[in-house]
Amino acid sequence: MTKPRNDTFLRALLRQPTEYTPVWLMRQAGRYLPEYCETRRRAGSFMDLCRNPHLACEVTLQPLARYELDAAILFSDILTVPDAMGLGLYFAEGEGPKFERPLREEWAIRDLEAPDPYGHLRYVLDAVAEIRRALDNAVPLIGFSGSPFTLACYMIEGGASDDYRTIKTMLYDRPDLLHHILEVNTRAVTDYLNAQIESGAQAVMIFDSWGGVLSHRAYREFSLAYMERIVAGLKREHAGARVPSIVFTKGGGQWLEQIAAIGCDAVGLDWTVDIAEARSRVGNKVALQGNMDPMALFASPENVADEATRIVEAYGPGSGHVFNLGHGISQFTPPANVTSLVNAVHEHSRKLRQTAA
């Protein structure tokens, strides 16, 4: 396989030497960009946009046309997997994603099956292939999925939740049922990510957005153990190239060592973690991705650059750092401030390496 002309992101994930710190942003293709809003309007709805490979490719490339980002990430949604399981995903105006048939009854849970990604999720794989062709090896493409536990939160709650009461009641009352859902989700996510790799994804990321709401014991049993099985089941190489994996648990700062031990290549950090301490804790076991507070992007361009520089300085010299936000970019972010962020990371990390040399 021809490697990307800019493969800095992939080399950083593998802790190989890089000339600067690469940067990409979670939700970098999103509502903060006017061009994205126009494409979404043409699509008709968010899911119509996701299900149209041509338009998904269009919005994936939009932030790369504006900013000197070091990676593209597939435009899709983590809930495509439970939607393919027949739970009836829809988006209520002003309320976010919901499911028509949340998993509440034991018979429905026992009947749950992992979907064939080449069938019900063909539109995602077609988008991956089209994006790779359109990128023409300029930068790498990231594929992704939600974690088994995060998917289960939506599948059981029926949508977003403030207290996760329904899934946590199942966790403590009927752990056997929750484990069954997580088993199915693990097979589904593993198959889905491997299909994305086969279709052209050059790195993959597992978003454990809600793992941080669990107790210490529950996190290890109901989230981390299943992500470890996914990482073990991922294709490590495709077409002669190494395919790195990233695991990100929002609110997972207390478990960095345990996450780093599951076999992934990089651990994502949210903004509550000190990146210098994180680097000390995980040593050379994994790369680190993160971890600027998304709200910092509402400051002046100068202060955005200062905050980005501070994080680069805190990580210190050497490779193994992929700069990102600690969670997804806000839809209200001034687009010009992203330019300040990207430029500051690239410029300061180059200077830091030159000084260290």
Active-site amino acid positions: 27, 31, 40, 77, 154
Residues sharing a CB contact under 8 Å with residue 175, sequence separation 6 or more, in sequence order: 222
Across 21-58, b (16+ Cβ under 10 Å) vs e yields bbbbbbbbbbebbeebeebbeebeeebebbbbbebbbb
Amino acid at 137: N
CA–CA separation, 127 and 182 (whole Å)? 27
Local structure of 268: helix, strand or coil: strand
Nearest to 248 by CA among 218, 282, 291, 215: 291
Cα-based angle 269, 163, 262 (whole degrees, multiple of 5): 35
- The DSSP symbol for 296 reads G
Inter-residue contact 317 to 349 (CB < 8 Å): no
Nearest to 46 by CA among 102, 100, 89, 99: 89
Amino acid at 261: A
- What sections of the chain are H helices per DSSP? 8-13, 34-43, 46-50, 53-66, 80-84, 106-110, 122-135, 148-157, 165-173, 175-199, 216-219, 225-233, 256-260, 275-282, 301-315, 335-356
Amino acid at 11: R
Local structure of 259: helix, strand or coil: helix
Inter-residue contact 192 to 2 (CB < 8 Å): no
